[in-house]
Amino acid sequence: MKLKEVMTSMDYEKLYKAYYLQVYSYTISLAKNREIAEEITQNTFYKAVSTTSQFKGKSDELTWLCSIAKKTFTMMKCEAVSE
């Protein structure tokens, strides 16, 4: 699936279905906790949908999503430490 600048809700659904399990597996390996991994995964897809226009196509979609997931995990970790 190739991302377009303007995505329809059907495109978002395809992106989610195509990569959910891989992104979720990756977030479990980061968080070591299923609930936190689920939250990171949901935030990852939300951020991906919100920033689709920033995807430059220099990597594939999964690499891009995993990059968002890692940044999301890092931010959550920092927030937890500061609380």
pLDDT in tens, 14-53: 999 999 999 999 999 999 999 999 999 999 999 998 888 7
Number of residues that make up the chain: 83
pLDDT of residue 58: 85
The values of phi and psi at residue 32, to 5°, are: 60, 25
Q: Please state the pTM of the whole predicted model.
A: 0.84
Question: Greater confidence, 41 or 3?
Answer: 41
pLDDT of residue 1: 54
Residue 60 has pLDDT above 60, yes or no: yes
Between CA 45 and CA 66 the distance in angstroms is: 10
Between CA 65 and CA 29 the distance in angstroms is: 15
pLDDT of residue 29: 97
